[in-house]
């Protein structure tokens, strides 16, 4: 799709349709800037979620807070 629009831009400019060529280039620039901005915001949100995430587990009848670590849990009494 991008290559088709790029070809259309070149053809429009070659045929003297400068307004069309500028409109297509402006569309690319606006789309790129908005995409970059949205990706940056999403990355910041993800980092904030990772920073504030707290692991909670239900063990032996009570809720416990913990960190991300390997737990050694026996399977006795499950069945």
pLDDT per residue over 43-64, tens digit each? Answer: 999 998 888 777 777 666 766 6
Number of domains in the chain: 1
- Per-residue pLDDT, 71: 62
- Per-residue pLDDT, 50: 81
In a domain, 70, yes or no: no
**Angle at which helices 18-52 and 2-14 pack, to 10 degrees?**
150
- Per-residue pLDDT, 22: 95
Residues of the chain under the 70 pLDDT cut: 58-60, 62-72, 77-79
In a domain, 43, yes or no: yes
Domain that holds residue 14: 2-65
Rounded to an integer, what distance in angstroms lies between the CA atom of residue 40 and that of residue 32?
Answer: 12
- Per-residue pLDDT, 26: 95
Single pTM value for the model? 0.56
Question: At which residue do the structure tokens 């050694």 appear?
Answer: 72
Rounded to an integer, what distance in angstroms lies between the CA atom of residue 24 and that of residue 10?
Answer: 10
């Amino acid at each position: 799709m991008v290559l088709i629009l790029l070809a259309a831009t070149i053809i429009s400019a070659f045929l003297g349709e400068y307004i069309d060529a500028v409109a297509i280039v402006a569309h690319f620039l606006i789309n790129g800037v908005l995409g970059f901005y949205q990706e940056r915001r999403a990355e910041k949100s993800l980092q904030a979620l990772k920073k504030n995430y707290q692991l909670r587990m239900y063990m032996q009848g009570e809720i416990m807070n913990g960190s991300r670590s390997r737990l050694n849990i026996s399977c006795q009494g499950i069945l």
